Amino acid sequence: MLDPRFKTRFLNDTACTEAKAGVVLAATKLLPQNNKELESTSEDVQSQKPTKKRRVDESSSKLWDCFKDMLENEVTSISNNRSLQDSISDELSTFLGEPLLQRQEDPATWWKFNTTKYPTISKVAQVYLALPPTSVPSERLFSTAGDIITEHRTRLLPDNAEKLIFLKYNASLI
């Protein structure tokens, strides 16, 4: 869904809805401000230490005040989280409304140029559209082995072949 070349082109309605919900959920988990709100709420609760020398009425009043503050913080956090999810959903809808990128173009480059336009979902795209690992080092090693073990050297012992491959591959380091 986050690949600007395809987006929802190959998804049915059910899969599209599930994918949108997954992107919104992933974005809310990735955003640092959401985690900071949770940390500040837990720090506020931990910083309030009850004192032993108080009357029962005062301490019960303080207890209910603390409980009230916790509920208000939780409601505020939930409403902030809901508005955050709504803004992410709006950002995703705007992204999906844009025309598709040409198939030959690089999606990573597209996201690099559009990070400011879609700041939240671009972070999710960086995670899920990561470049695949390459097999270049192993291909180089097999190419080196192919240069050493040829039709004219078929009687080369495996131990000697390994040593020659090692030396040829690491010759630049010597």
Tokens representing 147 are 């240069």
In tens, the pLDDT along 69-102 reads: 776 666 555 555 668 888 888 998 999 999 998 8
| pLDDT of the residue at 82 | 66
**DSSP code for 171:** G
Tokens representing 42 are 């837990």
**DSSP code for 150:** -
| pLDDT of the residue at 34 | 46
**DSSP code for 9:** T
In tens, the pLDDT along 4-57 reads: 989 888 888 898 889 889 988 988 888 765 444 444 444 444 444 444 445 555
Domain ranges of the chain: 13-128, 136-173
Q: How far is CA 59 from the centre of its chain?
A: 45
Confidence at 154, pLDDT banded by 50, 70, 90: confident
Q: What is the DSSP string of 45-107?
A: HHH-PPPSSS-HHHHHHHHHHHHHHHHHHHHHHHHHHHHHHHHHHHHHHHHHHSPPPPTTS-H
Integer angstrom CA distances of residue 34 from 30, 76, 88, 162? 8, 12, 13, 54
Confidence at 159, pLDDT banded by 50, 70, 90: very high
Question: Who contacts 95 (Cβ-Cβ below 8 Å, separation ≥6)?
Answer: 4, 7, 118, 121
**99 with 8: CB under 8 angstroms?**
no
In tens, the pLDDT along 100-134 reads: 988 888 888 899 999 999 999 999 998 888 766 66
Average pLDDT on 144-171 reads: 86
Confidence at 60, pLDDT banded by 50, 70, 90: low
